């Protein structure tokens, strides 16, 4: 073979091998962190929301601020969602619902929902959705008349649950809700576990240290956990004490991970408190505190960080 032909052959082979590797990386269980913040408005972290693409389904867990923007950044049309699951009723987890519901119905490619918007959540989800429907009745009426959008696409199908158990099951995908502990006054509060073909993803929801997260998170592939942290100097402040008491500190989260032993632990809903004079802890400090109690695999989530879950877990940073 002439040297140029050999070179062309080698290039072609390298390209084909690369494509094969890329194809293998596409698993049928993919998780994308759409928003990783708490209520605090941050330009680089939107409200809490996690997309799980599993088998032939797209499931969304919480719909925080900016969820339609993040979904369309990864070219997932809102109209293609199979169900939205709600962990609890704090506004940071549900304030994106009207936008998702209404914008997901519009005619362009990012929307086009033609079937009812399916929402699954704890007791209280029905009144929430009924009231959202009332609040936006004028917009729906206008668009039905003016844009001739399909009435079925703006209908809402809500399902409520009031205890631990399976809340969704379709084509081998099973979603189990489990109670967590977000504080005495913040009930109901749930986390979720998604199971598919022997793989699993667990989302803690908002919680302080919870044995139930350990129970449902044990042996999971991906354990996505919230975290809250403030500097010692700030913890003399009652307001800071109250907020941190509703969340899991990094060293407590480390204990959860050490007991549950997920293949990969991931932080989301990162609560970092500060004041005019006391700065928020750095992410490096959050990790260092976690390392006091956990030495396994850990990622600090960012918006649009994605995880391909197969025999191994591939982390795709945005």
What are the phi and psi torsion angles at 315 (to 5°)? -100, 125
**Minimum distance of Zn ion from residue 87's CB (angstroms):** 8
Site for Zn ion in 15-74 (CB under 5 A): none
82 is catalytic: no
Site for Zn ion in 189-208 (CB under 5 A): 206
**Minimum distance of Zn ion from residue 186's CB (angstroms):** 6
**Minimum distance of Zn ion from residue 49's CB (angstroms):** 11
Site for Zn ion in 275-304 (CB under 5 A): none
The reply to whether 90 sits near Zn ion by the rule CB under 5 A is: yes
For Zn ion, which is the closer residue by CB, 191 or 281?
191
**Minimum distance of Zn ion from residue 204's CB (angstroms):** 11
Site for Zn ion in 92-111 (CB under 5 A): 92
For Zn ion, which is the closer residue by CB, 185 or 236?
185
Q: Could you tell me which stretch among 85-93, 96-104, 234-242, 282-290 binds Zn ion (CB under 5 A)? A: 85-93
Among the listed residues 254, 194, 259, 260, the one whose alpha carbon sits nearest the alpha carbon of residue 227: 254
Q: Active-site residue among 56, 62, 82, 92?
A: 92
Q: Could you tell me which stretch among 87-95, 153-161, 170-178, 306-314 binds Zn ion (CB under 5 A)? A: 87-95
For Zn ion, which is the closer residue by CB, 206 or 308?
206
**Minimum distance of Zn ion from residue 219's CB (angstroms):** 26
| CA contacts within 13 A on the Cβ side of 157 | 10
Residue ranges in contact with Zn ion by CB under 5 A: 90, 92, 206
The set of catalytic residues is 92
């Amino acid at each position: 073979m002439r040297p140029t032909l050999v070179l062309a052959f080698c290039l072609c082979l390298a390209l084909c091998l690369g494509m094969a590797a890329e194809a293998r990386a596409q698993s049928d269980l993919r998780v994308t962190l759409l928003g990783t913040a708490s209520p605090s408005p941050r330009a680089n972290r939107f409200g809490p929301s996690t997309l799980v693409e599993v088998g032939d389904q797209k499931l969304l867990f919480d719909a925080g601020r900016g969820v339609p923007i993040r979904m369309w950044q990864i070219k997932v049309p809102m109209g293609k969602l199979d169900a939205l699951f709600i962990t609890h009723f704090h506004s940071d987890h549900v304030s994106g619902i009207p936008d998702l519901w209404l914008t997901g119905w519009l005619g362009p490619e990012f929307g086009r929902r033609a079937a009812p918007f399916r929402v699954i959540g704890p007791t209280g989800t029905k009144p929430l959705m009924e009231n959202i429907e009332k609040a936006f009745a004028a917009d729906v009426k206008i668009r039905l008349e003016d844009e001739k959008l399909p009435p079925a696409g703006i209908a809402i199908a809500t399902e409520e649950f009031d205890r631990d158990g399976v809340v969704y099951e379709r084509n081998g995908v099973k979603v189990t809700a489990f109670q967590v502990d977000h504080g005495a006054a913040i009930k109901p509060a749930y986390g979720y576990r998604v199971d598919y073909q022997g793989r699993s993803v667990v989302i803690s929801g908002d919680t302080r240290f919870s044995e139930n997260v350990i129970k449902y998170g044990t042996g999971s592939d991906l354990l996505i956990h919230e975290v809250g942290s403030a500097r010692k100097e700030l913890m003399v402040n009652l307001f800071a004490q109250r907020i941190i008491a509703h969340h899991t500190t990094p060293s407590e989260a480390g204990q959860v991970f050490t007991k549950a032993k997920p293949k990969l632990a991931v932080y989301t809903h990162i609560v970092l408190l500060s004041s005019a004079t006391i700065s928020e802890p750095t992410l490096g400090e959050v990790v260092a505190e976690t390392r006091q109690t956990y030495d396994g695999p850990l990622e600090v989530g960012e918006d649009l960080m994605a995880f391909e879950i197969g025999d191994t877990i591939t982390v795709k940073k945005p």
